[in-house]
Amino acid sequence: MIDDSFIARANAPAFRKKLTTFTSRQGLHGTEIIAHAGAVLNACGVAENAPSIYFKLPKSDPGGGSLWDFAATACLFNELGLPASDIHGRPLCLKPGSRNQSVRMVQVEQFSIKESLQVFRKFLRLRRNRHKMSDPEETPPKKNRRRRRRPSSPSATSGNADRDSPVPQNKAEKPTGLTGPSKTETALLPPFTGLCLEQIHVPSSRSECHDAVDEILAAGIGGFDTEAKPTFRAGQKSGGPHVVQFSLTDKAFIFQLHHHECEKATSELIASPEVLKVGFGLQNDRGQIRHRLGINLNHVLDLDQTFRKMGYRGQIGVRGAMGVLLKQCFKKSKSTTTSNWARPDLSPRQLTYAANDAYAALKIMEALELKGHL
């Protein structure tokens, strides 16, 4: 991340070349230099484009910053408990009039700053909402204004009787049920440790699919989920599911249905009464499975229904359930959720996303059993 004026510098091409060489040596490829806005917005942009850095020179150079630029950026990161340093890793010198900040750089870790900023933004929104709710200038409720326009009743106290009517009391006394933790609350919990790439298997040949089916049947139970290529236009059909995932206690199998052998293997497992499929929101998968494979999803445990019996409203989902039972944060990337699941070769991020969706359901089921809910 750099300021707009920095790209006009004569040595900007040399800087780009050196940065690309350096990142390649670090195993990072596809380096992109983004000319963004000012200091603080560029600092936020680092979080949105992680892993990244914000490079800024002192004020005397084009594209450089004043004391305020460095102070604002350092203040933001320090409040979030994140590092802000010069290019040598030393604390920023923020004394007024200091000219010894030859080259400044803010370096941010890939995940912690992004998550922290998301929590910070949500905190600000919640604080604004509380200010609105505590506004001292109270206006009369709309219902009261409508009552004033009605013809007055013979009783002088009828207005008070209307305001004291039992209707709102009944609404207040109506049980609301339990609710899962919000995204803001779960973001503060320690992260859930899922499966790594070495524990994820992607069968494609007949022998690989046969071995995977045998292992899942032998286990008799597995975390289950499906993924489909998203649609973005009205009336557009997905044609999914394109991916079906099964997770055991120590590994996961990702079946891509464009392989004939994978489609055959998943059909056998999905229809089998010998394998308990454990997941969340499985009702949503039934229609796609019936349309794509022509079979019914049999022998399932939908954990959303389990939590509903425990008193939770609606669909709690894997994120909320993870926060309630295991007190851990289960992160689901929206960009990965809406990625192309029909592609022939899934990315490492897609593989870990799909595997841990199923794996998390299995771990939550185990926690429910320990607590006596199953």
Tell which wins on pLDDT, 200 or 231.
200
User: Does the structure show a pLDDT above 90 at 303?
Assistant: yes
Phi, psi of 86 (to 5 degrees): -85, -175
User: Does the structure show a pLDDT above 90 at 299?
Assistant: yes
Residues 302-337 as b/e (b if ≥16 CB within 10 A, e otherwise) read bbbebbbeeebeebbbbbbbbbbbbebbbbeeeebe
Q: Average per-residue pLDDT in the chain?
A: 76
Q: Over the stretch 254-273, which tens digit does the pLDDT of each residue have?
A: 999 999 999 999 999 999 99
User: Does the structure show a pLDDT above 90 at 104?
Assistant: no
Average pLDDT score over residue span 40-47: 69
CA gap 327, 330 in Å, rounded = 10
Beta bridge partners of 224: 246
Tell which wins on pLDDT, 44 or 325.
325
Query: What are the CA-CA distances from residue 142 to residues 139, 149, 170 (Å)?
Result: 9, 11, 19
Q: Report yes or no on 151 lying in a domain.
A: no
**Of 121-130, 161-170, 324-333, where does mean pLDDT reach its minimum?**
161-170
Residues 6+ apart with CB under 8 A from 254: 200, 201, 202, 243, 245, 346, 351, 354, 355
- Confidence bin at 109 (pLDDT 50/70/90): very low
User: Does the structure show a pLDDT above 60 at 103?
Assistant: no
Tell which wins on pLDDT, 324 or 237.
324
Q: Over the stretch 80-91, which tens digit does the pLDDT of each residue have?
A: 656 677 666 666
Structure tokens, 36: 């963004």
DSSP 284: H
Query: In CATH, what number is assigned to the domain containing residue 318?
Result: 3.30.420.10
Q: Report yes or no on 214 lying in a domain.
A: yes
**Of 2-16, 97-111, 254-268, 352-366, where does mean pLDDT reach its minimum?**
97-111
Average pLDDT score over residue span 101-112: 36
Mark whether 104 and 222 lie in a shared domain.
no
Average pLDDT score over residue span 236-241: 85
User: Looking at residue 59, what is its pLDDT?
Assistant: 53
- Confidence bin at 172 (pLDDT 50/70/90): very low
CA gap 143, 7 in Å, rounded = 59
- Confidence bin at 112 (pLDDT 50/70/90): very low
Q: How far apart are the first and last CA of the chain?
A: 51
Q: What strands, in cross-sheet order, belong to the sheet with 243-247?
A: 200-201, 252-256, 243-247, 221-227, 276-279, 300-302
User: Does the structure show a pLDDT above 50 at 207?
Assistant: yes
Q: Report yes or no on 126 lying in a domain.
A: no
User: Looking at residue 74, what is its pLDDT?
Assistant: 72
User: Looking at residue 239, what is its pLDDT?
Assistant: 87
User: Looking at residue 237, what is its pLDDT?
Assistant: 81
User: Does the structure show a pLDDT above 50 at 347?
Assistant: yes
R_g over Cα of the chain: 28
- Per the document, the length of the chain is 374
User: Does the structure show a pLDDT above 90 at 99?
Assistant: no
Q: Which of 56, 84, 115 is the endpoint of a domain?
A: 115
* 21, amino acid identity: T
User: Looking at residue 173, what is its pLDDT?
Assistant: 47
Beta bridge partners of 253: 201, 246
* Total of domains in the chain: 2
HSE value, Cβ hemisphere, 13 Å, CA-based, for 354: 30
Angle formed at CA 192 by CA 187 and CA 194, multiple of 5 degrees: 145
Question: What string of DSSP letters covers 51-62?
Answer: S-EEEEEETTST
Q: Report yes or no on 84 lying in a domain.
A: yes
Q: Which of 96, 115, 134 is the endpoint of a domain?
A: 115
CA gap 257, 243 in Å, rounded = 6
Q: Over the stretch 133-170, which tens digit does the pLDDT of each residue have?
A: 444 444 455 555 555 555 554 444 444 444 444 544 45
Q: Report yes or no on 131 lying in a domain.
A: no
Looking only at the bridges linking them, the beta strands covering 276-279 and 300-302 are: parallel
Range of the domain at 189: 184-370
User: Looking at residue 235, what is its pLDDT?
Assistant: 77
Q: Report yes or no on 291 lying in a domain.
A: yes
CA gap 302, 286 in Å, rounded = 12
- Confidence bin at 111 (pLDDT 50/70/90): very low
Looking only at the bridges linking them, the beta strands covering 252-256 and 243-247 are: antiparallel
CA gap 337, 278 in Å, rounded = 20
Q: Report yes or no on 166 lying in a domain.
A: no
User: Does the structure show a pLDDT above 60 at 192?
Assistant: yes
Q: Over the stretch 268-296, which tens digit does the pLDDT of each residue have?
A: 999 999 999 999 999 889 999 999 999 99
Q: Over the stretch 173-182, which tens digit does the pLDDT of each residue have?
A: 444 678 889 9
Query: In CATH, what number is assigned to the domain containing residue 97?
Result: 3.40.190
Q: Report yes or no on 202 lying in a domain.
A: yes
